[in-house]
Structure 1
Amino acid sequence: MAELSTMARPYAKAAFEHALASSALGEWSQMLATAAAVASQETVAKLLSSPAITTEQQAQKFIDVCGDALNAGGENFIRILAENKRLALLPIISELFEAQKAVQEQSVDVELTTAFALDSESEQRLADVLSKKLNRQVKVSSHEDRSLIGGVVIRAGDLVIDGSVRGRLAKLAEAVNS
C-alpha cells in the first residue's frame, strides 16, 4: 500500500496546488471523489488494465463515464493520469487530496463510536471540546457499537482516544497478565 501511496502523492499534491491556486478546493474535491468512485468500479478497472485500447482511448472513455462531473482541468488531469498509466491510483489520490484539504482548512473528521446513541446536545458538546483540544474545526460522524459496553471511542486522523469500557477491560487484562 505504501508503494501506491508514494506513486499517488505527486499527483495529489499537483491537483491540490492547482485547486488551491484557483480557489477551487471544493470543486476539485468533488471531481476527485467522483473519479475515484468511477475508478473503483470493477468494469472500469478491467477497461483500464486492458492492453487492447490506447491511453488516449482509456482517458476518453473514463471522461465519458464521469460525464459533467469533470471540468476542463479535471479532464486534463485524467488525461495526464492515463498517459502515465496511473488512473487506477485515483482512489488514493482523492484520499491524499482530502487530507491536504483538511490541513489547509484546519478541519478534521472525527468519528465517534459509542455503545448507545448520543443525543445531539451531547454530540455538539463533545465536538466543541474536541475542536478546542485539536485547534481545528471538527466534523463529527457517529455510530453505535454495542460491543463497547459503555463509553466512547474517538478517532480523529491519527489520534485515537479509547474511553470505552471494553478498552479499559482490555487494558486491565493486559496489566493482570503481565
Structure 2
Amino acid sequence: MAELTTLARPYAKAAFQHAVAAQQLTQWSGMLGLAAAVTADNTMQACLKAPQLTNEQKGQALMDVCGEELDQAARNFVSVLAENKRLELLPEIAVLFEQYKAEQEQSVDVEVTSAFALNADQQDQLAKALSARLRREVRMQTREDASLIGGIVVRAGDLVIDGSVRGKLAQLAEALKSRV
C-alpha cells in the first residue's frame, strides 16, 4: 500500500494544484471519485489488465465509461495516467486528493461508532467537542455497534479514541495479564 501511495502522490498533488488554481475542488473531487469507482469495477479491471490493448485504448475505455462527467482537463489527466501505465492508481489518487482537499478546507471526516443511537443533541455536542479538539470543521458519520456494550469509538484519520466499555474491558484484561 505504501508503494501505491508513493506512486499516486505526485499525480494527486498535480490534480489538486490544478483544481485549486481553477477553483474547481468540488468538481475535481467528483470526477476523480467517479474515475476511481469505474477503475475499481471488476469489468474495467479486466480491461485495464488486457495485454492486447494499448495504454491509449485503456485510457479511452475509461473515459468512454465516465462519459461527459469528465471535463477536458480530467480527460487529459486520465490520458497522462494511461501513457505512464498508472490508471490502476486512480483509487489511491482520489483518496489522496480528498485528504489534500480536507486539509485545504480545514475539515476532517470523523466516524463515530456507538453502542446505541445518538440523538441530534448528542451528535451536536460531540461534533463541537471534536471540532475544538481537532481544530477543524468536523464532518461526522455515525453508526451503531451493540458489541461495544456502551460508550463510543471515534476515528478521525489516524486518530482513534476508544471510549467504549468493550475497549475499557480489553485494557483491564491486558493490565491483569501483564501482572501475572
- Equivalent residues in 2 for 1:18-167, closer than 5 Å: 18-167=18-167
- Measure the CA separation in 2 of the matches of 1:68 and 1:152: 43
For the residue of structure 2 that corresponds to 1:108, the secondary structure is strand
Q: CA deviation at 1:50?
A: 1.0
Percent of aligned positions that are identical: 58
TM-score scaled to structure 2, two decimals? 0.97
Residue in structure 1 matched with residue 175 of structure 2 by the alignment: 175
For residues 97 and 52 of structure 1, the distance between their equivalents in structure 2, rounded to whole angstroms, comes to 31
Aligned to 2:12: 12
Say which SS state the counterpart of residue 118 (structure 1) adopts: coil
Matched position secondary structure for 1:117? coil
Aligned counterparts of 1:93 and 1:145: Cα–Cα separation in 2: 31
For the residue of structure 1 that corresponds to 2:109, the secondary structure is: strand
- Inter-partner Cα distance in structure 1 for 2:19 and 2:173: 50
The 2-side partners of 1:5 and 1:158 are apart by 16
Letter of the 1:141 partner, please give it: Q
- For the residue of structure 1 that corresponds to 2:124, the secondary structure is helix
User: Residues of 2 paired with 1:122 and 1:40: CA distance?
Assistant: 37
Count of residues in correspondence between the two structures: 178
Q: Normalization by structure 1: what TM-score? A: 0.98
Q: Distance in 1 between matches of 2:115 and 2:89?
A: 36
- RMSD of aligned residue pairs (Cα, Å): 0.6
Q: How far 1:160 moved relative to its partner?
A: 0.7
Any stretches of 5+ residues in structure 2 without a counterpart? none
Whole-angstrom distance in 2 between the partners of 1:108 and 1:89? 23
Stretches of structure 1 that go unaligned for 5 or more consecutive residues are none
Deviation at 1:59? 1.2
